[in-house]
Amino acid sequence: MKRRAFLAAAAGAALRGQVERPKLKLSIFSKHLQWAPYGEMAAFAADAGFDGVDITVRAGGHVLPERVADDLPRAVEAVRKAGLEVPMITAGIVDTSSPHAESILKTASGLGIRYYRWGGFQYSDDQPIAAQLAALKPRVKALADLNGHYKITAMYHTHSGMDMGAPIWDLWEILRDVDPRWIGVNYDVAHAVIEGGLGGWIRSLQLMRGFLHGVALKDFAWSRNARGEWYPEWRPAGQGMVNFPKFFGMLSKSDFDGPVQVHFEYEGLGGANNGDRKLAIPKPELLSKCRRDLTYYRERMREAGLA
C-alpha cells in the first residue's frame, strides 16, 4: 500500500508539472577551522553536522598555493574519509596572472572539485567607474577561458564596502558577456543586505540569477561603536537583520543547486571567527555554536523546500 501511494503521488506531481528539486547541502568555511589539521578539521565538520567543507587554498589557508599539488589531495582525502564532500575551495585567485593559479585549477579539477571562490578587484578613486569596469573585462574573459579548459567554475564573492562586487551590479557589468558556465558569483546574503537594505539585495539577487553559482550564509545587525559610528556587527544565525525566509524562498523558486557555505564571523568563537591558528575556547563550546547556527539554517531551508 505504501508503494502504491508513493507511485500515485509521484504520478500526480508529474501531471501537475511539479519537479522534486535536489536538496541543498551545507559546507563549513574552513577559515573557521584553521586551528585544526586536516583530519581534525574534517572530524569537527562531520560532528557538527555539515555536508562538506569549503577548503581555503590561499596564503595562510589550510593549503598554501605553492603546495597545492601535494597538500590539496591530502586535505580532500581527509574530508572525504570523514564522509563529507568538498564542493568548492576558496582560492586566492584574482585573475590568470595570480601566482599558482593554473596549478590550483588543475589540481582542484583533477580531484573532482567543480567550484572555487575568486575575486579581489579594487576600485581606484581617481578613475571613472565605467572605464575601470571595461578594463577588467578581458581579464575576466581570460579567467573564464582557463576555467573552461579545466571544467571548473569561478565564483566572485560579494563583500560589502568600497571594493568591486559590493554593489553587485558592477559584477553584472563585467560578467554579462562571458560564459556563465565557467564564471559567476558567490552571493553572500549578509553582505548583500548590508549594501542593499530593504530591497536592493532582492534586486541584486534577481539580477545575478544567471550567474549565481554559490551562496554564503551569515547574519548581522547595525550597531554603534564607542565613537557613535554605525557599523555592521556579525551575529549568530537568526539574531540579525537578514531575512532568511525570504532569501531561501527566492532560491527555492530558482534552479540554484550550487554550494552553500556557512560562515561564523561573530564574537565569542575563540578566534575561529577570525581564522586564528589557536582556539581560545573549549572545542565543545565552538561545536555547540556551530550546531546551533546550522540547525537554524536547515530549519529555514526546510520550510522553503531546500533541505
Tens of pLDDT, residue by residue over 13-51, are 444 445 566 799 999 999 999 999 999 999 999 999 999
Strands (E), the chain: 26-29, 52-57, 88-91, 115-118, 153-157, 183-188, 212-217, 219-224, 230-235, 260-262
Residue 222, phi then psi, degrees to nearest 5:
-75, 135
Q: Which amino acid is at 140?
A: V
Residue 6 pLDDT grade (very low, low, confident, very high; cuts 50, 70, 90):
very low
Mind listing the pLDDT tens digit for each residue in 190-223? 999 999 999 999 999 999 999 999 999 999 999 9
Dihedrals phi, psi of 166, to nearest 5 degrees = -70, -45
At residue 2 the predicted structure's pLDDT band, cuts being 50, 70 and 90, is: very low
At residue 18, the pLDDT reads 53
Beta strands 153-157 and 183-188 are parallel
- Every domain of the chain and the residues it spans: 24-303
DSSP label at residue 187: E
Residue 103 CB partners (closer than 8 Å, separation 6+): 65, 68, 69
- Is there a contact between 252 and 306 (Cβ–Cβ < 8 Å)? yes
* CATH, domain range 24-303: 3.20.20.150
Contact indicator for 158, 192 with CB cutoff of 8 Å: yes
Q: Are 239 and 249 in contact (CB under 8 A)?
A: no
- Report the predicted TM-score, pTM, of the whole model to 2 decimal places: 0.92
pLDDT in tens, 119-166: 999 999 999 999 999 999 999 999 999 999 999 999 999 999 999 999
